[in-house]
Chain A
Amino acid sequence: MHGEKPVSEPESLFDKLWKSHLVKAQTDSTPAVIYIDLHLVHEVTSPQGFDLLRAKGIGVRRPGRTLATLDHSTPTLPPDAEGRRPYYTSQARRQVQTLRDNCREFGIQLHDWDSPSRGIVHVMGPELGATQPGMTIVCGDSHTSTHGAFGALAFGIGTTEVGHVLAKQCLLQTKPKSMRIKLEGKLADGVTAKDMALNIIRYLGMNGGTGYVIEYAGKAVRALDMEGRMTLCNLTIEAGARAGMIAPDQTTIDYLRGRPMAPQGADFERAAEKWLQLASDAGADFDSEITLDASLMRPAITYGTDPGMSVAIGEPVPQAATHSQAKALRYMGFSGGQSMQERQVDVVFVGSCTNGRISDLRAAANVLQGRQVAPHVQMLVVPGSESVRKQAESEGLHATILAAGAEWRLPGCSMCLAMNGDLVPAGSTAVSTSNRNFEGRQGAGSRTLLASPETAAACAVLGRVGSVADLEPAREAG
C-alpha cells in the first residue's frame, strides 16, 4: 500500500545468521558462498588442508580468525623426567608436530602444551570468548555444533573444506532446512542437560535431524546454564543435524563478559545489545516444529550402539525390532527385556567436549565425595581444558577424585574416541559422559553406555549400572 513502510518478514535466528554471512547468494545451480568468522583447527583433520595451501602456493587468508589447539592425539599422562610426552604412537607425535609446523609456517595462533588455555577445541573456544553470538564457526570436527549454544551458526566440515576456509575464509554451502524444538516445563531435580539431549535423540532418532539446523527454545532451555546449553548443542549432531543453536540471552552475555577474546568495556556492552537482537522473531517460519515436555524427562543411559538407543535408568533393555537393533544388542551383550542394573561396569570415563567442563567435574566429584570407586572399576576423569583443570584443582575436586580411587588426567579428547591410547579393552563395559556409543568407538570391541557425569560417577561407585538414587549415603568427611 502506498506510503506505508514495507513490513519485514519475521526471521529465525538461523535465517538472520545465514543472511548476514552471505558473500554470494545461492542459485538454482550453485551453492551459496558464506563467510566464516571463526575457524577452529586441531591436529587430526587439518594436515591435508594445509597441504592444499602449499599446492596452490597461497597463505591463510585470515590467520586472526583461525585458532588452533592440540587435543585428539595428545596423551593424558604426564611427561617423563626428560619431559618426553607418552604419545601412543610415533605417528601421533608426528601429527602434533605437523600442526605445530603448519601454524608456524602460516602464522596461526596455536595453543600448544605450554599454553594455559590448551584444551579440547569445543571447550577452549567458548572459555576464551572466541566463540561469540552471531558468528559463523567451523572446525573439522562434527561436535562444532557445541558453539551454537551461544547463538552462533556452528558446524563440522571435512578436510577439503578446512583447506577452503584456510584459503578463502569462506565455504560453499546449500541452505539447510530449519527445525525448532521447544522444551517446555522444568527439568526434575537430578535430570541434566545430558539427559535432556539423550531424551531428544531418542525421540528424533539418530537421523531425525538429517538435513536440518535445530534451534532449541522454551523454558527448560532458557533455564540451562551455558555449560548445559553447550552439552545440548554438542549432541545435536548425534540426531543427524549439523548444527544446534540457542538464542543469546542474559545467561550468554554474563558468561562472555570479561573473557579474553570477547569485546571489552563499552565495546562489549554494544555487542551485547546486538546479540540480544538475534533471537528468532515472533512468527518466524521453521520447516519443522516440535514441542517436548522437559518435566517428563528422566536420567538416561544408552544400551545400544547409537546415541538414540537409550532408556530411563531403571527401565529394561527394549526388545529389538529390527535386524540392526538385534545386531546392536548382540554387540553390547544385552538381551531384550533384561534389566540394565545387572550389568557390571569395568571402566568409567568423565570428560570430552560433551561433558568435560567444570560443572561436569563438580557434579562427578560431588557424587564421589565420601565414597569409593568399586575396586574392579577403572575411572578416568579428564578435564576438557587446562583452564578447567586449574579451576578444578583450585576447588580441590582433583583431591576428591583421587581419594575416591579415580585417575586425574591431563586435558584432551582422551577416551571419547580413544585415538591417544586411552582405550576401553575389548569386551569391557564403559559408562562414558562422551557423545558416541558406536561399536569400537572407545577401542576395538569396547561397549559404551552414555550417561551424565552424575550417573557415570554413581556407576563407578556401584560397580554396575545404576543412578545416584541407588547410592548408599556418603561417609561424612572426617
Chain B
Amino acid sequence: MEAFKKLTGPILVLEQENIDTDQIIPARFLTATDFDGIGDHLFADWRLDADGNPVPGHVLNEARARRSQILVAGHNFGCGSSREHAPHALLGFGFRVVISSQIADIFRNNSQNVGLLPVVLEADQHARLLEMDGEEICVDLEQCEVSVRDADGSEQSWPFSIDPFARHCLLRGLDRFDFLNQAEDAIVAYEKNL
C-alpha cells in the first residue's frame, strides 16, 4: 500500500447522493481474478456508452478528471456491495482521496485497506466543496485537516476525524496484515479454548 501524507490539488465533484458501488464499478467487471486495469471501468455506465465510447460532456471524461486525485462526492458515498473492486477502480483511475459528508462502512474499510483515503466532513464544509469543482484544496492526513482558500486568498482549515489505526497505516503505507500477524500468540491462545 502506498503511503499517504499530504496532497494538494484540484478536486473533481460528483454531487449525486448515495453513489453505490454498482455505479463505481458495475458487476460485469467483477469476473477478473486480479485488479489490473480496473480503473478503466470506473463509473463505466455513466462515462461510457454501450459501445464503450466516452459520453461527451461527462465530467469524468474531461482531461482534468484523470489528473485530479481528490474526488468530492455527494452524501453517503460507496453504499451497497462489499466489492473491493470499487476503491481499486478509484485508485486505478487516479484518485487518492474521496471526500463526502458520509461514507458507507464497508467501502470505507476497504478503502483504508487498499490505500484510498476516505474523508468525512461536516455537512456545511462538504456543501462548500461541492461548489468548488476544479479548485485546489489541500488534504493533510498528518494534521487531519482539509484546507481551502477563500475568495480573498485567506486559508480555512477544517479538521476531520479518522480511525487512528487506519491513519497510522496510511501515513506509513503499512499493510494491516502485519499487525494481525503480530497477534499470533493471542490467536493460538484463543484457539486452545475453542
Contact = CB atoms under 8 A, between A and B. Distances in A.
A206 B74 CA distance: 14
Contacts of B191: 35, 169
A207 B76 contact: yes
Interface residues of A, number: 67
B106 A439 contact: no
B109 A158 contact: yes
A29 interface: yes
Contact of A240 (B79, B109, B165, B180): B79
Contacts of A144: 82
Contacts of A327: 16
Interface in A167-221: 167-172, 174, 176, 206-207, 210-211
B30 A168 contact: no
B32 A91 contact: yes
A299 interface: no
A164 to B, nearest CB: 6
Contacts of B53: none
Interface string A441-468: 1001100000000000000000000000
A23 B186 contact: yes
A44 interface: yes
B153 to A, nearest CB: 31
A291 interface: no
A114 B106 CA distance: 33
Interface in B129-178: 163-165, 168, 176-177
Given A158-B84, A426-B50, A441-B22, A172 B105 contact: no
Contacts of B30: 44, 72, 419
Interface in B79-104: 79-84, 102, 104
Nearest to A89: B31
Interface string B43-80: 00100001000000000000000000000001110011
A47 interface: yes
B125 interface: no
Contacts of B79: 206-207, 240, 306
Nearest to B184: A168
B186 A436 contact: no
Of B45, B50, B177, chain A has the most CB atoms within 10 Å of the CB of B177
Output the residue of B16, B106, B110, B164 with the most chain A CB within 10 A: B106
Contacts of B81: 141-142, 156, 417, 436
A98 interface: yes
Given A92-B31, A141-B82, A441-B22, A210 B105 contact: yes
B106 A242 contact: yes
Given A23-B190, A172-B176, A172-B179, A419 B16 contact: no
A323 interface: yes
Interface of A: 23-24, 28-31, 33, 35, 44-45, 47-48, 51-52, 56, 72-73, 89, 91-92, 94-95, 98, 140-142, 144, 155-161, 163-164, 167-172, 174, 176, 206-207, 210-211, 240-242, 306, 322-324, 327, 417-419, 426, 436, 438-441, 444-445
5 contacts: A95-B32, A155-B106, A159-B84, A164-B177, A207-B104
Those 10 A-B pairs whose CB atoms lie nearest each other, nearest first = A158-B110, A156-B82, A158-B84, A47-B33, A324-B17, A160-B113, A419-B27, A159-B84, A207-B76, A142-B82
